[in-house]
Amino acid sequence: MRALILSDIHANLQALQAVLAQAPPHDVVWNLGDIVGYGANPNEVIDAVRPLGTTFVRGNHDRACSGLTDVDGFNPVASRAAKWTQCVLSSEHTAWLRHLPQGPVMPAGPVSADVPANGAAVRCAHGSLLDEDEYVLSARDALHSLTGDGAAINFFGHTHLQGGFATDGEQWYRLAPDYFTRDTAETWELQLSSGARYMLNPGSVGQPRDGNWRAAFAIYDTERHTVLFCRVPYDLRSAQDAILRAGLPDRLASRLRDGR
Ligand SMILES: [Fe+2]
């Protein structure tokens, strides 16, 4: 079984379309949240991902843009984008966002039967496994999620940084895909070890922040026990133009080019 794992699309329709067009074959789609917020096409993005997903987790922007939580904790740019999104979202899409589950969730499908028998299961979260709003930026942050009775393989988003963390119980490792170009489609495969535990981030589809502008996603193959990290170029100019036409802050357009 192969799962396409998407996170932090952030209403970037052009990036999402490129990902869906170029993603390797897969059986299911898992979505780790922040489907909307920042970008100019929240309704179109929801229309595109809603029928694809078998597993969804809500993100902090999904909550704020659907009015579940206020935007007081957001910086001024994020707050302005969230309020704009609230205004343009259809009532149906707002209601759908409000009903997205809080992570962590166990993905739907035959995952548990496929993964090695080391007590493993798979969990999907937006932030950490303990707090949906926590940024997992270091091994120390991941420690709390990878100790105790948790799953061996965990997927998360929120940081917009592709890669993650692993431990074999003694050593801790930071995982970061190694790419060679800046503007072409590339992949980087991680062979999972059955004795290790993982916190893995597919990266952000719509607003990467690891200095790499290309849309990010991952493919988890339960039979080969691999995670394929992927980057694909997309129509950046159109995404930027849509942001500017919508009257959203210029910064939201310029940062897409920088990947910051
Ligand atoms: Fe996000």
Determine the distance separating the centroid of ligand 1 and the alpha carbon of 127, expressed in angstroms.
Answer: 9
Determine the distance separating the centroid of ligand 1 and the alpha carbon of 195, expressed in angstroms.
Answer: 30
Residues in the chain predicted with pLDDT less than 50, given as ranges, are: 112-119
Digit-coded pLDDT (tens) for 190-217 = 999 988 999 999 999 999 999 999 999 9
Determine the distance separating the centroid of ligand 1 and the alpha carbon of 8, expressed in angstroms.
Answer: 5
Q: Which long-range contacts link 74-82 to residues 24+ away (Cβ below 8 Å)?
A: 77/249, 77/251, 77/252, 78/37, 78/38, 80/248, 80/249, 81/37, 81/38, 81/248, 81/249, 81/252, 82/37
Determine the distance separating the centroid of ligand 1 and the alpha carbon of 137, expressed in angstroms.
Answer: 13
Determine the distance separating the centroid of ligand 1 and the alpha carbon of 207, expressed in angstroms.
Answer: 8
Q: What integer pLDDT is reported at residue 119 of this predicted model?
A: 42
Digit-coded pLDDT (tens) for 137-166 = 999 899 888 887 778 999 999 999 999 999
Domain ranges of the chain: 2-258
The whole-angstrom separation of Cα 195 and Cα 171 is 12
Determine the distance separating the centroid of ligand 1 and the alpha carbon of 117, expressed in angstroms.
Answer: 33
Determine the distance separating the centroid of ligand 1 and the alpha carbon of 139, expressed in angstroms.
Answer: 20
- CATH second-level architecture of 2-258? 4-Layer Sandwich (3.60)
User: Which residue, 190, 212, 216, is CA-closest to 202?
Assistant: 216
